[in-house]
Amino acid sequence: MTDSATIRFLLDGEVVEIHDADPTRTVLQYLREDLRRKGSKEGCAEGDCGACTVVVAELDADGTNLKAINSCIQFLPTLDGKELLTVESLAADGALHPVQSAMVANHGSQCGFCTPGFVMSLYALYETNENPGRQDIDDALSGNLCRCTGYRPIIAAAKDMYSAKRVNRPNRSAELESIQRESSLHIEHNGRRFFAPLDADEFAALFAQYPTATILAGGTDVGLWVTKQHRELTTIIYTGRVADLRDVKVTDTHIDIGSAATLTDAIPTIVEHYPGLTEMFRRFASPPIRNAGTLGGNIANGSPIGDSMAALMVVDATLVLRVGAVEREISLGDFYHDYMVNDLQPGEFVSRIKMPLPSDDAVVKSQKWSKRFDQDISAICTAYRLVLDDGKVKSFRMACGGLAATVRRAKETEAAITGLPWAEETIEIACVALAKDFTPISDMRASADIRLLAVQNLLRRFFAESERGDVETVYTYGR
Amino acid sequence: MGASVKPALKRESAVGSPIPHDSAHLHVTGRASYTDDLPEPRDLLHVAVGMSSLAHAEVGEIDLSAVKAAAGVVDVCIASDIVGTNNYGPIIEDDPIFATDLVQYVGQPIFAVAATTVDAARKAARMANIEYRELDAILDPLDAVLKESFVLPSETLVRGDPDSAIASAPHRTRRRVFLGGQDQFYLEGHIAMAIPQEDGCLLVYSSTQHPDEVQMLIAQTTNRPANDVTVICRRMGGAFGGKESQAALIACVAALASDKTGRACKLRLDRDDDMVMTGKRHDFVIDYDVGFDDTGLILGIDFELASRCGMSADLSGPVNDRAMFSCDNAYFLENIRILSHRCKTNTVSNTAFRGFGGPQGMFAIEYAIEDIARNLGKDPLEIRRRNFYGKDERNVTQYLQVIEDNVIDEIFDQLVSSSDYRKRREDIQAFNAENDILKRGIAITPVKFGISFTNTLLNQAGALVHLYKDGTIQLNHGGTEMGQGLYVKVAQVVADEFQVDIDRIRITAADTSKVPNASATAASSGADMNGMAAKKAAAKIRGRLTEFAARHFAVPEADIQFADNQVRAGDNTVSFAALVQLAWADRVPLSATGFYKTPKINYDRETFSGRPFFYFAYGAAVTEVVVDRLTGENRTLRVDILHDCGDSLNPAIDLGQVEGGYVQGVGWLTSEELWWNDRGELGTHAPSTYKIPTCSDLAPDFRVELMQSNPNPEDTIYRSKAVGEPPLMLALSAFHAIRDAISDSSCPAPDLNAPATPEAILKAIEASRHE
């Protein structure tokens, strides 16, 4: 048994070593079935209910970085080099952690099944924010569903957990340091393989060698292939350890995002430059999903209801694609060919995402339309980039998700109003053109005719906002 | 009596205290054991169910060879393996455990496979090769009415002369409105584990609200006497009615697999399978026709209700009966007809869900009330008050029960004032005049909810209390714990009966070998019935202890006082534990059962008349919302609730029920949409697509109060009132606030269906544009 095949992570201060792991065994299965550590629960096995939430600590440039993740869709090898904290980790010597005692004191549990997940999301909040407001609490808990309490007592606990004497987390950076690896993790198990390359060159070489391999990033979709579709993944190449694909940098011209950067790492830089994308990214999944999921994964997966792509298209983002040592750049607008079909060639992967920095004269905005504010999949996602010149439309780009087999631009609409005055009549012209651009379908998220009406109304809303400076949404109103 | 008067020993009463949930410390540490957390027998097999892929089809050959050959598979079970009855229907035997020659919904179980791991079982369950001959499917209630496809005969209740009252009324309005169903979405999915015992007995751990029924159905299915089956449930991770009747399906399958393999078998449904395979709240199509006068007084009303029961009767009979009983909500309806269709559709069999038809009945009348107000241009508040039941007159329901405990006027008076309703309504009108995109709305709605099972015989409960030599107590009763705090409430009752601290009491799992023949923990009756039964059991033992103490200390029984973990006998004071030890040594029996049956109730289903309910629980809510007219997105801004729990057994627990019920109700009426495609496949079968409220959906301003100094006039346990279901219907105020927000002078009464998703709201606005 070589070191390169052994998963090592910290649990309750001890280094856990796992040899010959099944690469698609989930962290939750490992906890519940192998360790019989039954505190973490399975509520959905798809990362949408949060009953399985655990916290993972990872070394980063600033020290140790704590994040809540959904253990039900995380594969065990992704823990390598990290610390895992579960609900059982918190109570020290039988004394409840302040998060736990606040939940008891505020009657924050009823049936209790979601509670371990809430405790862990609250714990991540406790460790990363010392004075959260309601908005911070909502955001931190948006990936946790409770069916009993109606959330009021849990929110009260989230405020109250700071009133007890602060309990500091033991510093485990030395232990974490000790389990970092020089050479990459490579597991072979019953004819299946898992690679966790450490740099982009190794990643590219492996994918060139195994062009049919499954690229695993955050696992927020691939995890479901296993838990829901029971697919057997023969070869997996994990992006999570590829240091030079996880960076987010700003150059003179671009925001340059490594495809393996998590959404949590990428979003602050994006919205700093494009504040019009803030609400969309707030509504983009939940913290546990954003902590694992990557922008590159959202793009490469290419779902027609992916949230990021419309915004990236209107700012004319480009993708750096790489096969072996060869790179090429393609506009995101040209990347998707058809439903779940893209321009990637065998062995080729999305290496980086390049968003041009905003120009002063352009207004960029993205909207999401769904049944629920938090953690919902878009029925429609829109994005606009508007440049006016003397009250006339100098340049207009609009892209939509949820209206066609891929996220794509509304070219008829764009053309129809370019050069026209930015006025209500022009918007009505655009609304007519939208019906030529898109022939949406009916599904569980919305029916075809209302989808068309909704996208027209979203455009009308964008117009109203541009005219009035700002129009509050139901989500900002009264808060 | 000549006893000297001494100050009573002081001990804070447990009843009425906001004691935390008995398992709270276990919940937060992950140490509370749910069925899947129990230690597993070494030979345990995991079971998965193979389901129908068609909504309606004749079944030909069921080829399971690939399933049997799959890795890890030990055995399979099909209908022909069932030695007893192939049925888990609780009332009517129309619910096969495994389909035989006919499948009637997508997701109907056809076979089960037992394998060494969960994954192996679930993978194998997909490998069957089943021959179908597809039949036409009925997929919605209106189609069923048209084709006269019913699970049970339609029922009609008539009082007075609705036709002429409506025809001669100065005003009349009618409407058809669609009201969606709701998935229970308990966080813990259905699960059961069956473990063979010696001599053919079977022990089953089941996540069920009704262990007795699970026991009986396993006995019937496996052809055993009931005394060979023991069913245990310590707690459920939520149930909400979803585990009342349908938990039996899961438990029966586990039992069958266990019998077939001779090994312990566990069936835990995957979330998607759970949502596809098991029933939900009934969606309704509601037609009404109402006649009223200039003041908004209802003169006559005619309801036609068509509910989606799915492929079998399940609990649809009583669910629809309760819908009929709830069409009055808090209003006196002298001339009324209710025609209720129980539609058979090729979809999953719908079942109990918190409110049990009540929410749908109340939705119907509240919609009519709102329409009357909107037709007359009056504040709906006035119309509600105009039609409320009176105290001494206008106080007879459509099922001829005289209402003796009406407090709705008091609740409304207090809430209208405390919520500042009138001023806020004016502010909202001003705001809406100024704003064209965001619109606000407000509504106040009442709740009057009848408490008791409408089937009188179910209103019985048993408890078992043991006192051990060291003075500790074990408490058991037929009620199940699903998060509602039943167990702590009953423990509070027992603690007070013995005047000991509650931590002296060990609460134990619902167990058919301890308390037999228990009714489901349902109909909000858990604390009322089990609290009373446990009190009686404890009182029996206390009586024996009192008799013993009087004898032992040679004082009159009247001088025996239990207080503060002690017992005083005249001038002697001993600890409770010491007295118990002495009593044991004197061979005093220290264990007792208690039994309770709800008094006063009687009901004749043939004539829809009698007193089905022991009493009513009341409440009201004011909800204010903001709606985006362009996107249809909406959010609650402020909620004011005043709810009647009688004298609360535990105000913290009851507050939790009120708050949680309200939010769950808002989910039902706003974001939770069940969507089937034209093949009868449920599209919304996981939290990714089925959206229950999240944290940010809670109104930023949320004010909930329990009515104070408000004892139940009926002799319930410490004069408390049931609280499980009634608060859900407070959420009707949120729906009507949304409707208020999107109404204006050009369209005062928009055609809004429930749930009021952004899509439904846009449709309603769009329809009003074209009117």
Q: How many CB atoms are closer than 10 A to CB A415?
A: 12
Q: What is the pTM of this model?
A: 0.97
CA distance B495 to A262: 53
Question: Which helix (DSSP H) or strand (DSSP E) does residue B577 occupy?
Answer: helix B576-585
CATH code at A47? Answer: 3.10.20.30
CA distance A74 to A21: 14
pLDDT in tens, A199-250: 999 999 999 999 999 999 999 999 999 999 999 999 999 999 999 999 999 9
Pick from B275, B271, B272, B254: nearest CA to B263: B254
Q: How far is A457 from chain B (nearest CA, A)?
A: 5
Contact A150 B660 (CB under 8 A): yes
Pair (A120, A183) in one structural domain: no
Contact B687 A372 (CB under 8 A): no
For chain B, first and last CA: distance in Å?
82
Q: Could you say which of A356, A391, A407 is where a domain stops?
A: A356
Contact B437 A153 (CB under 8 A): no
Q: How far is A230 from chain B (nearest CA, A)?
A: 6
Asked, for residue A478, whether it belongs to a domain, the answer is no
Query: In this complex, which of B21, B188, B634 lies closest to A109 when CB atoms are compared?
Result: B21
- pLDDT given at position B9: 43
Q: How many CB atoms are closer than 10 A to CB B470?
A: 10
Q: What is the DSSP string of B382-435?
A: HHHHHHB--SSSS-B-TT-PBP----HHHHHHHHHHHTTHHHHHHHHHHHHHH-
The maximal CA–CA distance of chain B, rounded, in angstroms, is 88
| B378's tokens | 């009056």
pLDDT higher than 50, residue B2:
no
Contact B762 A453 (CB under 8 A): yes
- If you average pLDDT over every residue of chain B, what do you get? 96
Pair (A228, A313) in one structural domain: no
Helix ranges, A198-326 (H): 200-209, 222-227, 263-273, 278-282, 287-292, 295-301, 309-314
Q: Please answer whether residues B513 and B230 qualify as being in contact, where contact means their C-beta atoms are separated by less than 8 angstroms.
A: yes
Asked, for residue A474, whether it belongs to a domain, the answer is no
Asked, for residue A166, whether it belongs to a domain, the answer is no
Query: Facing residues of B194 across strands?
Result: B204, B265
pLDDT higher than 70, residue B120:
yes
- pLDDT given at position A469: 86
Between residues A470 and B109, the one the model is more confident about: B109
pLDDT in tens, B720-739: 999 999 999 999 999 999 99
CA distance B380 to B367: 10
Taking contacts as CB-CB distances below 8 angstroms, the residues of chain A near B769 are none
Amino acid A305 reads I
Pair (A260, A135) in one structural domain: no
Query: Facing residues of B156 across strands?
Result: B339
CATH code at A275? Answer: 3.30.465.10
Pair (A180, A68) in one structural domain: yes
Taking contacts as CB-CB distances below 8 angstroms, the residues of chain B near A444 are 673, 675, 683-684, 689
CA distance A158 to A118: 10
Among chain B residues, the shortest Cα distance to A232 is held by B123
Q: Residues, chain B, total? A: 771
Pair (A399, A440) in one structural domain: yes
pLDDT higher than 90, residue B61:
yes
Secondary structure percentages of chain B, helix, strand, coil, to 5: 30, 25, 40
Mean pLDDT of B636-653: 97
Does B703 contact chain A (CB < 8 Å)? no
Q: Kindly provide the residue ranges of all beta strands, DSSP E only, lying in B420-528, ordered along the sequence.
A: 438-451, 460-467, 473-477, 505-507, 510-511
CATH code at A107? Answer: 1.10.150.120
Pair (A149, A113) in one structural domain: yes
Asked, for residue A280, whether it belongs to a domain, the answer is yes
Contact B626 A373 (CB under 8 A): no
CA distance B174 to B160: 19
Helix ranges, B610-707 (H): 651-669
CA distance B480 to B406: 30
- For an interface test with A, the pick among B21, B26, B27 (most A C-beta atoms closer than 10 Å) comes out as B27
Taking contacts as CB-CB distances below 8 angstroms, the residues of chain A near B675 are 443-444
Among chain B residues, the shortest Cα distance to A375 is held by B688
CA distance B444 to B434: 23
Taking contacts as CB-CB distances below 8 angstroms, the residues of chain A near B693 are 150-151, 372
CA distance B222 to B218: 6
User: Is the CA virtual torsion B721, B724, B725, B728 positive or negative?
Assistant: positive
Interface of A with B in 99-118 (CB under 8 A): 99-101, 103-105, 107-116
Over its length of 479 residues, how does chain A's per-residue pLDDT go in tens digits? Answer: 347 899 999 999 999 999 999 999 999 999 999 999 999 999 999 999 999 999 999 998 777 899 999 999 999 999 999 999 999 999 878 899 999 999 999 999 999 999 999 999 999 999 999 999 999 999 999 999 999 999 999 999 999 999 999 999 988 999 999 999 999 999 999 999 999 999 999 999 999 999 999 999 999 999 999 999 999 999 999 999 999 999 999 999 999 999 999 999 999 999 999 999 999 999 999 999 999 999 999 999 999 999 999 999 999 999 999 999 999 999 999 999 999 999 999 999 999 999 999 998 999 999 999 999 988 999 999 999 999 999 999 999 999 999 999 999 999 999 999 999 999 999 999 999 999 999 999 999 999 999 999 999 999 999 999 999 888 999 889 87
Asked, for residue A118, whether it belongs to a domain, the answer is yes
Pair (A313, A218) in one structural domain: no
Query: Facing residues of A10 across strands?
Result: A15, A83
CA distance B214 to B207: 10
Rounded to the nearest 10°, the torsion over CA A266, A272, A273, A275 is 110
Asked, for residue A243, whether it belongs to a domain, the answer is no
Could you say which DSSP state residue A95 is in?
B
Asked, for residue A245, whether it belongs to a domain, the answer is no
Amino acid B535 reads K
CA distance B624 to B440: 7
pLDDT in tens, B569-594: 999 999 999 999 999 999 999 999 99
- Let me know the angle formed at the C-alpha of A68 by A67 and A71, rounded to the nearest 5 degrees: 125
Does A230 contact chain B (CB < 8 Å)? yes
Q: What is the DSSP string of A106-138?
A: TT--SS-SSHHHHHHHHHHHHHH-SS--HHHHH
CA distance B460 to B212: 13
Does A443 contact chain B (CB < 8 Å)? yes
Pair (A73, A179) in one structural domain: yes
Q: How far is A129 from chain B (nearest CA, A)?
A: 18
Q: Could you say which of A198, A217, A238 is where a domain stops?
A: A238
Rounded to the nearest 10°, the torsion over CA B750, B754, B758, B764 is -20
Pair (A34, A114) in one structural domain: no
Instruction: Say how many domains are in chain A.
Output: 4
Contact B637 A104 (CB under 8 A): no
Contact A477 B635 (CB under 8 A): yes
| A362's tokens | 């352009």
Q: Please answer whether residues B641 and B658 qualify as being in contact, where contact means their C-beta atoms are separated by less than 8 angstroms.
A: yes
Q: Which residue has the tokens 């345990």?
A: B44
Interface of A with B in 146-165 (CB under 8 A): 146-155
Size of interface A-B (CB pairs under 8 A): 273
Active-site amino acid positions of B? 725
Pair (A41, A109) in one structural domain: no
Contact A112 B32 (CB under 8 A): yes
Secondary structure percentages of chain A, helix, strand, coil, to 5: 35, 25, 40
In angstroms, the Cα distances linking A73 to A240, A361, B754 are 14, 43, 34
CATH code at A380? Answer: 3.30.390.50
CA distance A253 to A401: 27
Q: Domain limits at A46? A: 3-88+172-238
Interface of B with A in 23-82 (CB under 8 A): 23-34, 36-37
Does B687 contact chain A (CB < 8 Å)? yes
pLDDT in tens, B408-461: 999 999 999 999 999 999 999 999 999 999 999 999 999 999 999 989 999 999
Domains, chain B, ordered by start: 24-32+460-597 (3.30.365.10), 35-136+185-277 (3.90.1170.50), 388-453+614-771 (3.30.365.10)
Give the confidence band of B771 by pLDDT, cuts at 50, 70, 90. low
Asked, for residue A328, whether it belongs to a domain, the answer is yes
Contact A38 B36 (CB under 8 A): yes
Q: Kindly provide the residue ranges of all beta strands, DSSP E only, lying in B228-297, ordered along the sequence.
A: 229-233, 265-268, 284-292
Q: Could you say which of A356, A380, A413 is where a domain stops?
A: A356
CA distance B629 to B672: 20
- pLDDT given at position A267: 97
At A299, give phi and psi (nearest 5°).
-75, -45
Question: Which helix (DSSP H) or strand (DSSP E) does residue B759 occupy?
Answer: helix B758-769
| B217's tokens | 């159905």
Pair (A227, A298) in one structural domain: no
Pair (A56, A23) in one structural domain: yes
| Chain-centroid distance, C-alpha A211 | 25
| B713's tokens | 């006039």
| B588's tokens | 């005093």
Q: Please answer whether residues B533 and B595 qualify as being in contact, where contact means their C-beta atoms are separated by less than 8 angstroms.
A: yes
Q: Which residue has the tokens 């209630």?
A: B141
